[in-house]
Structure 1
Amino acid sequence: MPLSHRPVTPADVPIICRFAHDAEELFYMFPKATYPLTPVQLSEAIAQRCGSTVIEADGVIVGFANFYKAEHGGVCALGNVVVAPAARGQGVARYLVQCMIGLAREEFAAREVWVSCFNHNTAGLLLYPQLGFVPFRIEERRAPDGSRVALVQMKQVLD
């Protein structure tokens, strides 16, 4: 499956909104959003963030991410990372995160890229260290059902 990436467009937003199939998946992608994710919620987040990027496989959108923090010469923090359910387990997340690291380097001259991952997100917890991210902090948060969850914060120092 050949992958490519490009900046998000307004036409992409309704497609991305369908990627989170339940409240738990949406919580991993966008903790402040309310399920189901609506184009208004996602568009507002995109407007407040930088580097919103989609991944395509044969012209079909299969991934999305952006930076909720982007300091030129400092830290870029990845957010809203999500892969379409049908494309999971096929290298899309790896490609997406690598594209975002490249964007952090090229557009923001970032020294570090940060990513946060909830403890129930096994796929993310296994992927990010493979890509060079190292945990540096754990914060307690509350899941939508009120239960305690751990937010594992990781960073990669760029050359």
Structure 2
Amino acid sequence: MKIHHRPVKADDIKTICGLPQGAQELFYMFPKAQYPLTESQMADAIAQRFDSTIFEADNRVVGFANFYRAEPGGTCCIGNVIVAPQARCKGVASFIVETMTALAFDRYDASEVQLSCFNGNTAGLLLYPKLGFQPFAIEERASPEGDRLALIHMTRRRAG
């Protein structure tokens, strides 16, 4: 699968809204959103974030991500990561995270890249350390149902 990326366009928003397959996936992708994800929720998030990026393969959207913080020379934080259901377990998530990490280091001259992952997101917890991210803090959060969750914050520092 040959994947490429580009900046998000307004007509991508409806497609992005269809990527989370249920309330739990939406919570992992975008904890502040209400299920189902609406175009206005997604458009508002994109307007407040940096480098919202679409990932495509075979002329189909296979993923999305952005930065919720982008400090030149400092820290960039990757957020809203989602992989399309038909593209899962095919290396798309790795491509997304590696692409966004390179963008942070190249465009923002970031010293580190951070991301966060809820304890129930086993796929993310297994992937991110393979890509060089190390846990540095755990924050207690509540699920939409009020259950206690752990949000694991991870970082990857610029090499050298």
Do the structures match in fold with TM over 0.5?
A: yes
Q: 1:143 is matched with which residue?
A: 143
- 2 CA distance for matches of 1:147 and 1:101? 31
SS class of match (2:96) = helix
Q: 2:134 is matched with which residue?
A: 134
Q: 1:82 is matched with which residue?
A: 82
- 1 CA distance for matches of 2:95 and 2:108? 19
Report the alpha carbon displacement of residue 21 of structure 1 after superposing the two structures with TM. 1.3
Structure 1 consecutive aligned stretches of length 4 or more whose deviation exceeds 2 Å: none
* Per-residue CA distance 1:49-103 (angstroms, 9 max, x = gap): 0011111011111100000000000000010000001111000000000110111
* Per-residue CA distance 1:98-135 (angstroms, 9 max, x = gap): 11011101111100000000000000000000000000
Number of aligned positions between the proteins: 159
Q: 1:110 is matched with which residue?
A: 110
* Per-residue CA distance 1:21-59 (angstroms, 9 max, x = gap): 111000000000000001100010000000111110111
Q: What is the one-letter code of the residue matched to 1:15? A: T
- 2 CA distance for matches of 1:72 and 1:108? 4
1:120 aligns with 2:120: yes
Map residues 65-104 of structure 1 onto 2, 5 A cutoff: 65-104=65-104
Identity across the alignment (%): 57
- 1 CA distance for matches of 2:155 and 2:26? 22
1:41 aligns with 2:41: yes
* Root-mean-square deviation (Å): 0.5
TM-score normalised per structure 1: 0.99
Gaps of at least 5 residues in structure 2 are none
SS class of match (2:34) = coil
TM-score normalised per structure 2: 0.98
